[in-house]
Structure 1
Amino acid sequence: MLELAFSAQDLAHTRFAFSPVWEAVASVRVLRQPGDYALHLPWVKETRARIGEAGLDIGLLADLVAGARLPGFLAATPVTPVPELAGELAELRDIPAALVRRSLDELDPPRSAALNKFYRDPAAGLDRLADLVEAYWRLAVEPHWSRIRALLEGDILYRSRLLVEGGADALLNDLSPMVSWKDGTLTVAHAHVSSSLPLEGCGLVLVPSVFVWPKVFSKTDSPWQPVLRYPPRGVATLWERGGSPTSGALAAVIGRTRAILLTELDAPASTTELARRTRLTAGGVSQHLGVLRAAGLVSAHRAGRSVLYSRTNAADGLMATSGQVDC
């Protein structure tokens, strides 16, 4: 169990971000142990086929993520809210050799031959690793990135609303069943970690990540800002092809299509994502969202390159009355 003690300064420095490189790294663990990540089995099947067809050897990456503890340099804490892959790979190539060796020394023994080679020449190893992550990303993550990114941005939007409405208590107690907040301390239920640390004014970076589900990951290694990676709200819908069931009573009031869209907006989503889930045209989704927005049931917020739609409090109340959600 990890306990992180917050000061007022730590709360002030706590922020959100997400990380393309981290998603790639975490997804390799899913490929290695798919039984632990049943939600992602459709992705595992597709991605293994892609990697096999391309003949890509991901052995170095697999060796780096094999243990309970990951090397800190493998996915550094994001320094911007929405980093791009190229920028994160450039940072990876610039990790100091001493930091690479320190991180490798902390891995569970024994080290593979590939990791020993990396240890002897960290600069060359980082170049190989960055090239491998990029090649792997193109095959495994990029085909789904627009959907993943929309889910991550939607989660941040939802939790920003929680922070506004309920403060740090509402935000930090809603991240995951494995995370709890009480009396200025954030407790994370890790199986392989047992420590109590003050954040010492650094704050915490909260990173939603689809491929950590159903777990949470933390990193408190120097010199990076501490980070907590948790599953985003709505991750269970990520690989779904069909829509969610809707209430007949709600459909009778606002129409079946608009009831479906409100049901899908349990987590914020873009027009494109809603069209994919519901199998409606993007134009049709946009038209119905416009009507729902005019009625005060949906709000729109720009998040990076996307416009995300979310239910308003009035819509939540309407759906609770019709039996759609538990309050």
Structure 2
Amino acid sequence: MGWWQVDADTLARGRFVVSPLCETISSLKVLQRHAPAAHPGARAWLAEHLPAFQELVRADPLTPLLLDAAFRPHWNADFITPTPAAEGGQSFEEELAVLRATPPEQVRDDLTVALGGPPPPALCRPDLAERAADLVEWVWRRTVLPQWPVRRRVLEADVVARTAQLSRGGWAAALEDMRPGLRWLGGDRLQINTHEHAPRETSGARLLFVPVGFDTSWVSWEGRHRYAVVYPCAGALAEPDRPPAPEALGALLGRGRARVLVLLDAPRSTTHLVALTGLPLGSVGRHLKVLLDARLVRRRRAGRSVLYYRTESGDVLVGSQQDDATEDRAPAGTGAAAAQSR
């Protein structure tokens, strides 16, 4: 297995950061593999942007070669996934400048490691880092930037939830279910994946954990100074547009509690609810307790996660209020179809 030796001081200085470049690389990986996404919002995002991306790839023979060589099944070429700054907070342009400035010899070395042998002659060119940066910038401007305020809130909500887990249960709890193959082995060992790699000594380095919106993950490091684990956040990246909780339901339960109940039309974790509502983790927990006591929701364990979902009584309560709200909005004599046509 691949693991890092992490002493107590390094772990204590570990922190969660949000990186617009990592979010863009995650989006690029999803566009490259164009596999069906599990979440409806992610499927809608892919359907919207995949045709333009595929046209871009077809227009330049170098692009598919670059993507295939840079993103391998078990390893990325390191130059295309630079490690975020230790303090976080960099703009996309600042992060992209690091990728763009990668020396040609380092690009070739990184591709050789990823491919397990020399890269194709077409990729042995001095401007390959520039070409890769141009592709990443296209993905940012076309597919990520329009959503970035929403995405950033989702990622920050995950950071808040993970930090709360850290304060309650230590790093073992905060790392739980973060990414496949990642787990705390005890002592000073952090398993980062299940591949056979030599252990890496991280003493004195800054250890970073970086959430991204899609189901992608990787690790990276900058010399012996910074190490990063990029992991898929627990919240949904792009939830389909939902109407607000009905006013009458909000008056009955309180706005926040009503919002939580409406969102539990499908099983969701507390972290997911934090990401979707923007409420603090403690507030979501209190709302769930009241809803549980009122038997409007139930919970069940799925692996290491606890998921909450509406009971039949909860469905009836939400459904009746939503039906009433629809009728109130429809002009007399026009029916629901007229209301929907607006």
Give TM-score, length-normalised by structure 1: 0.72
Q: Which residue of 1 aligns with 2:283?
A: 311
Q: Which residue of 2 aligns with 1:283?
A: none
Shift of residue 11, structure 1, vs aligned partner: 0.8
Q: Which residue of 1 aligns with 2:253?
A: 254
3-state SS of paired residue (2:226): coil
1:88 pairs with 2:104: no
Q: Which residue of 1 aligns with 2:108?
A: 101
Shift of residue 226, structure 1, vs aligned partner: 1.6
Q: Of residues 62, 66, 76 in structure 1, which corresponds to 2:67? A: 62
User: 1:240 and 1:217, CA in 2 relative to 1: closer, same or farther beyond 3 A?
Assistant: same
1:164 pairs with 2:136: no
Work out the CA distance in 2 between the residues paired with 1:193 and 1:36: 29
3-state SS of paired residue (1:73): helix
Q: Which residue of 2 aligns with 1:142?
A: 145
Q: Of residues 115, 123, 126 in structure 2, which corresponds to 1:115? A: 123
When structure 1 is superposed on structure 2, of 75-84 and 217-226 the one drifting more is 217-226
User: 1:187 is aligned with what amino acid?
Assistant: Q
3-state SS of paired residue (2:133): helix
When structure 1 is superposed on structure 2, of 316-325 and 19-28 the one drifting more is 316-325
Q: Which residue of 1 aligns with 2:226?
A: 225
Shift of residue 208, structure 1, vs aligned partner: 0.5
Shift of residue 231, structure 1, vs aligned partner: 0.9
Shift of residue 243, structure 1, vs aligned partner: 7.2
3-state SS of paired residue (2:199): strand
User: 2:12 is aligned with what amino acid?
Assistant: A
User: 1:2 and 1:200, CA in 2 relative to 1: closer, same or farther beyond 3 A?
Assistant: same
Q: Give per-residue Cα distances to partners, 1:22-79, cap 9 Å, x unaligned.
A: 2222322212223374443322211123336778754465234342221112121110
* 1:1-327 superposed matches below 5 A: 1-35=1-35, 37-39=37-39, 40-51=42-53, 57=60, 58-59=63-64, 61-68=66-73, 69-79=75-85, 80-108=87-115, 109=117, 111-117=119-125, 121=126, 124-176=127-179, 178-184=181-187, 185-190=189-194, 192-211=195-214, 213=215, 215-220=216-221, 222=223, 225-235=226-236, 238-242=238-242, 254=253, 258-263=256-261, 264=263, 266-269=272-275, 274=277, 299=280, 311-321=283-293, 322=295, 323-326=297-300
Work out the CA distance in 2 between the residues paired with 1:66 and 1:20: 19
The unaligned stretches of length 5 or more in structure 2 are 264-269, 301-305, 307-342
The unaligned stretches of length 5 or more in structure 1 are 275-288, 290-297, 300-308
3-state SS of paired residue (2:114): coil
Q: Give per-residue Cα distances to partners, 1:174-228, cap 9 Å, x unaligned.
A: 52454222313222344x44443332231421011123x1x53222463562211
Runs (4 or more) in structure 1 with deviation over 6 Å come to 53-56, 243-246
Work out the CA distance in 2 between the residues paired with 1:105 and 1:176: 26
User: 1:183 is aligned with what amino acid?
Assistant: G
Give TM-score, length-normalised by structure 2: 0.69
1:93 touches 1:127 (CA, 8 Å); kept in 2?
Answer: yes
User: 1:244 and 1:104, CA in 2 relative to 1: closer, same or farther beyond 3 A?
Assistant: farther
3-state SS of paired residue (2:124): helix
Work out the CA distance in 1 between the residues paired with 2:193 and 2:290: 36
Shift of residue 261, structure 1, vs aligned partner: 1.8
3-state SS of paired residue (2:88): coil
Structure having the higher Rg: 2
2:70 touches 2:114 (CA, 8 Å); kept in 1?
Answer: no
Work out the CA distance in 2 between the residues paired with 1:224 and 1:115: 29
User: 2:26 is aligned with what amino acid?
Assistant: A
3-state SS of paired residue (2:35): helix
User: 1:14 is aligned with what amino acid?
Assistant: G
Q: Give per-residue Cα distances to partners, 1:1-40, cap 9 Å, x unaligned.
A: 3222221121123111122222222322212223374443
Shift of residue 154, structure 1, vs aligned partner: 0.8
Aligned-residue Cα RMSD (Å) equals: 3.4
Shift of residue 153, structure 1, vs aligned partner: 0.8
User: 1:234 and 1:116, CA in 2 relative to 1: closer, same or farther beyond 3 A?
Assistant: same
Work out the CA distance in 2 between the residues paired with 1:20 and 1:42: 21
